[in-house]
Amino acid sequence: MSLAFKRILLKLSGESLAGAQKHGIAPAVLDHFANEIAAAREAGVQVAIVIGGGNIFRGLSANAGEMDRVTADHMGMLATVINALALKDILERRNIPARAMSAVAMPEFAEPYLRNKAIRHLEKGRVVIFGAGTGNPYFTTDTAGVLRAIEIKADIIIKGTRVDGVYSADPEKEPGAVKYDRLSYMDVLNKGLKVMDTTAISLAMDNRMPVMVFNFDTPGNLQRVVAGDAIGTLVRG
C-alpha cells in the first residue's frame, strides 16, 4: 500500500466514543476505533492520537454550570486520560503496542509527556495516545492536537468526525449545506467554519500543518486517507 502520510496525528472527539448512548464509552465504537487504528499501523503509518473527554465531562458544557472554569477544565483533562487509557487497553488486547502519555503528571496511570520519548515510541511502531490536553485550562483538545502534531513532526492532522468533511452549515440540520473539498486556513477563520477552534486553526496556519476532516464512522476510511484518496476536506495554506 502506497502511503501519502507516514506519521499522522489522529484527533478524535470524546463524544464520538460514546456512540448513540451519548455518554460513557460504547464498546462497539471502541472496537471500531481499534480496527481503524490497527489497519493504519499495519500499513506502515506511525499513529499518534489526541482524544477529547466530552463523553465524560467537558469544561465548556451545561454540566459545568457555575463551576469555576479552571476546575471544570481540569475535570475535562482527567476525562481525556480515561479515554486514552480505554484506547490503550483495547489496542494492547489486540497485541498492538500502545503508550498513553499525559500532559499532567500521573505516573501510576500514564507516562509523562516528553516529546523525544513520544517520537521514539512512534519510530518503534507504538501507537501513542496523548491525554490531559495541553495540561493547561482554557485550551481545547483541538489546540492540543495541533500542538502535539507540530511537536512530533506529524505529516498531517486527521480529524475524525461523523460527517464526510466540512460543510457550509451543519448538514444534519441543513439539507442544502455545501461540502468543501479544500479550504485555506483563512477560509475557515473568515467563514467561521466549525473545523477546529480559532486558536487551533491559527496555530496550524502559523506552522503550516495541514488538517484533513473526514468521516471516521465509515470502516476503511482512515486507510483511504493515509493512502491519499480524495475524501473529506483538506485544510491547508
Nine cell digits for residue 58: 467537558
Q: Is 80 annotated as a binding residue?
A: no
So what's the pLDDT on residue 62?
A: 63
Beta bridge partners of 7: 46
Q: Is 216 annotated as a binding residue?
A: no
Q: Is 155 annotated as a binding residue?
A: no
- Cα separation of 5 and 125, whole Å? 15
Q: Is 11 annotated as a binding residue?
A: yes
Q: Is 138 annotated as a binding residue?
A: yes
Q: Is 185 annotated as a binding residue?
A: no
Whether residue 87 contacts residue 47, with contact meaning beta carbons closer than 8 Å, is answered with no
Q: Is 58 annotated as a binding residue?
A: yes
pLDDT band of residue 162 (cuts 50, 70, 90) is confident
So what's the pLDDT on residue 100?
A: 98
Q: Is 19 annotated as a binding residue?
A: no
So what's the pLDDT on residue 230?
A: 86
Whether residue 152 contacts residue 144, with contact meaning beta carbons closer than 8 Å, is answered with no
Q: Is 181 annotated as a binding residue?
A: no
Q: Which domains does the chain have, with CATH numbers?
A: 7-235 (3.40.1160.10)
Question: How deeply is 85 buried, as exposed, middle or buried, from its count of CB atoms within 10 A (0-12, 13-18, 19+)?
Answer: middle
So what's the pLDDT on residue 19?
A: 87
Q: Is 199 annotated as a binding residue?
A: no
Whether residue 115 contacts residue 106, with contact meaning beta carbons closer than 8 Å, is answered with no
Nine cell digits for residue 107: 505516573
Q: Is 167 annotated as a binding residue?
A: yes
Q: Is 208 annotated as a binding residue?
A: no
Q: pLDDT at residue 49 above 70?
A: yes
Q: Is 13 annotated as a binding residue?
A: yes
Lowest mean pLDDT among 49-53, 68-72, 149-153: 68-72
For 89-101, what is each residue's pLDDT tens digit? Answer: 999 999 999 999 9
Q: Is 136 annotated as a binding residue?
A: yes
| pTM of the predicted protein model | 0.93
Whether residue 212 contacts residue 234, with contact meaning beta carbons closer than 8 Å, is answered with yes
Q: Is 217 annotated as a binding residue?
A: no
Compute the mean pLDDT over every residue in the chain, rounded to the nearest whole number: 93
Q: Is 53 annotated as a binding residue?
A: yes
**HEC letters along the chain:** CCCCCCEEEEEECHHHHHHHHCCCCCHHHHHHHHHHHHHHHHCCCEEEEEECCCCCCCCCCHHHCCCCHHHHHHHHHHHHHHHHHHHHHHHHHCCCCEEEEECCCCCCCCEECCHHHHHHHHHCCCEEEEECCCCCCCCCHHHHHHHHHHHCCCCEEEEEECCCCEECCCCCCCCCCCEECEECHHHHHHHCCCCCCHHHHHHHHHCCCCEEEEECCCCCHHHHHHCCCCCCEEECC
